[in-house]
A and B are shown apart, each in its own frame.
Chain A
């Protein structure tokens, strides 16, 4: 009987797989252009990059894919006017290669300038006795707690050379809104799993070891001030989750958050890039085995979804 039920289960999965294949062929409507006047835009966008199911690809290739995705996203954010961006990867490829991230973003893709310098704001260097799970702990106060958040300030792009040659006043008056957004500065928070639950544990450890604090009850505002403060990670209102691994484009994969800092996702709207197609199978000869960076269609689709979201805030 068990054998029969198990066989039936596999047959059921086979038919379900066929159904999902048929569903994948259903064409989705094209998203609106970037410049489309959407009802609402996120003020703070988070980009969660995963390489789930991609153990065979080297770290360098994955990092390059992540960097390309971020560079494109910064360009799109500039174009639509999003000035705050968080980029996350679970393993911390981006956090541990922050110089590469800042180098990659120091020259805007649309307005290459040889003499542009990006302002990079590195987190405060923690004292040697900083709290961590793997080393002996010593007393540290909350203000110098290592929150594992790197903050990059990408400056506003200067006006192009063509604009500065004659007719400047006239050109500036007729500047379109999308061109104006191209010059906004963008703040980028670079985080990983270690910026989430481990930081909450470290904050709790500091409180546990603070004699003066022990009598006072921990309040939501206390944790909020630490985790979402100036050196921390503010809550994104929209998150795009994208898996770069080629295998993720072959079959349906549910959304996961890969250890994103849990405190900050209270009201975050999620958009999951989950297009998949059997034509992505290697034997179909129609795709490469390399990771693929985020594309503009996915980004625009996410913005369309966010613009339709209804926020009720509990009411």
Chain B
């Protein structure tokens, strides 16, 4: 009986969540969201789990978040999976992360990403990874290279200063004895080369309030930064809900200057119409009973 009730509760909750996502997707939705997936180890320590298990749960959270973003209509998701600095961690942890990356990303690509039209890009210094991981990443990228509906940028191993330096190098090589502009450097960023639209939102889980050498060029302008205390494996739709709401408020408030009173009039009309419809429906239903 308890199991039945729990299942019913989960069903109601997931239906409600599905409904809220459908409603949010009607409004302005960010085209590109980036995530710093922080907190796997603290999550594991809190639950007396092995660190590797924390990272495994972290990958499951990644799958859940990507699913939510695709349902919302977000075109591009970028995730900070492994920093070049993370090679300083213990050999055991680095090996566990490499093993996870080698199997999990390919499984996710085959099960979900390719079916949903997501192109997978692995950004960073792939040559620093073990050959088996590189091979697995190449398969994921090759399988999805013709997909165009969505993009998943999997940054591993990556730092933003390395990305900017690489972009400067490419711009310098292209523009020998000619003018180099900001736009030239922007064109050669790894995210741009992967077909990503401009970044709109960057979210860091785990409580820290810093970028840790992630997407600094992209995030320094016209990007909303959110630092949430939730550990990454615990992240869910309701952590993203206020962030999406704030984004929509920002977009609408920018439009207010152009057609402010007209928009508020239409909002007012819609709210009144909705109340009238609901009242009529309730009255009719009561009458029929």
Distance in Å from the Cβ of A91 to the closest Cβ of chain B? 13
Distance in Å from the Cβ of A64 to the closest Cβ of chain B? 25
Residue A260 interfacial (CB < 8 Å): yes
Cα–Cα distance between A38 and B222 once the two chains are bound (Å): 33
- B177 & A256 in contact (Cβ 8 Å cutoff): no
Cα–Cα distance between A214 and B175 once the two chains are bound (Å): 11
Q: Which residue of B lies closest to A251 (CB)?
A: B249
Residue A219 interfacial (CB < 8 Å): yes
Q: Which residue of B lies closest to A193 (CB)?
A: B221
Residue A205 interfacial (CB < 8 Å): yes
- A305 & B209 in contact (Cβ 8 Å cutoff): yes
Tally A residues with Cβ within 8 Å of B.
Answer: 64
Residue A265 interfacial (CB < 8 Å): yes
Q: Which residue of A lies closest to B219 (CB)?
A: A257
Residues of A287-315 whose CB lies within 8 A of B: 305, 309-310, 313-315
Which of B22, B86, B270, B277 is the most central at the interface, judged by chain A CB atoms within 10 Å of its CB? B270
Chain B residues with CB under 8 Å of A16's CB are: 242, 245
- A223 & B27 in contact (Cβ 8 Å cutoff): no
- A13 & B270 in contact (Cβ 8 Å cutoff): no
- B216 & A208 in contact (Cβ 8 Å cutoff): no
- A270 & B270 in contact (Cβ 8 Å cutoff): no
Cα–Cα distance between A141 and B201 once the two chains are bound (Å): 37
Distance in Å from the Cβ of A233 to the closest Cβ of chain B? 13
- A270 & B210 in contact (Cβ 8 Å cutoff): yes
- B221 & A258 in contact (Cβ 8 Å cutoff): yes
Cα–Cα distance between A217 and B248 once the two chains are bound (Å): 43
- A208 & B176 in contact (Cβ 8 Å cutoff): yes
Q: Which residue of A lies closest to B273 (CB)?
A: A7
Q: A10-B271, A252-B246, A269-B209 are in contact. Are A220 and B220 (CB under 8 A)?
A: no
Residue B85 interfacial (CB < 8 Å): yes
Q: Which residue of A lies closest to B252 (CB)?
A: A13
Cα–Cα distance between A257 and B17 once the two chains are bound (Å): 32
- B162 & A13 in contact (Cβ 8 Å cutoff): no
Residue B211 interfacial (CB < 8 Å): yes
Chain A residues with CB under 8 Å of B26's CB are: 2, 5-6, 9
- A10 & B165 in contact (Cβ 8 Å cutoff): no
Q: A267-B210, A310-B208, A314-B86 are in contact. Are A262 and B22 (CB under 8 A)?
A: no
Q: Which residue of B lies closest to A218 (CB)?
A: B169
- A217 & B169 in contact (Cβ 8 Å cutoff): yes
Q: A262-B164, A262-B216 are in contact. Are A10 and B171 (CB under 8 A)?
A: no
Residue A100 interfacial (CB < 8 Å): no
Chain B residues with CB under 8 Å of A260's CB are: 220
- A204 & B180 in contact (Cβ 8 Å cutoff): yes
Residue A133 interfacial (CB < 8 Å): yes
- A8 & B216 in contact (Cβ 8 Å cutoff): no
Residue A255 interfacial (CB < 8 Å): yes
Chain B residues with CB under 8 Å of A270's CB are: 209-210, 225, 227
Residues of B207-235 whose CB lies within 8 A of A: 208-213, 216-217, 219-227
Residue A41 interfacial (CB < 8 Å): no
Q: Which of A53, A254, A261, A266 contacts B161 (CB 8 A)?
A: A266
Interface of B is mostly: helix
Distance in Å from the Cβ of B223 to the closest Cβ of chain A? 6
Q: Which stretch from A29-37, A119-127, A194-202 is at the chain B interface?
A: A194-202
Distance in Å from the Cβ of A190 to the closest Cβ of chain B? 18
Chain A residues with CB under 8 Å of B224's CB are: 254-256
Residue B5 interfacial (CB < 8 Å): no
Q: Which stretch from B64-72, B126-134, B181-189 is at the chain A interface?
A: B181-189
Cα–Cα distance between A271 and B225 once the two chains are bound (Å): 11
Cα–Cα distance between A29 and B216 once the two chains are bound (Å): 32
Cα–Cα distance between A263 and B90 once the two chains are bound (Å): 28
- A7 & B246 in contact (Cβ 8 Å cutoff): no
- B180 & A205 in contact (Cβ 8 Å cutoff): yes
Residue B50 interfacial (CB < 8 Å): no
Q: Which of A9, A261, A263, A314 contacts B89 (CB 8 A)?
A: A314
Residue B193 interfacial (CB < 8 Å): no
Mind listing 20 A-B residue pairs with CB under 8 Å? A7-B271, A8-B274, A10-B267, A10-B270, A11-B271, A201-B180, A201-B182, A204-B185, A205-B175, A218-B169, A219-B165, A253-B250, A254-B224, A254-B247, A265-B220, A266-B161, A269-B208, A270-B227, A309-B210, A314-B87
- Interface residue ranges, B against A (CB under 8 Å): 20, 22-24, 26-27, 83-89, 160-162, 164-165, 168-169, 171-172, 175-182, 184-185, 208-213, 216-217, 219-227, 242-243, 245-250, 253, 267, 270-271, 273-274, 277
New contact pairs (14) apart from A6-B270, A254-B224, CB-CB < 8 Å: A3-B270, A10-B267, A12-B20, A12-B24, A197-B217, A204-B180, A205-B179, A207-B168, A256-B221, A256-B224, A257-B219, A267-B212, A269-B208, A314-B84
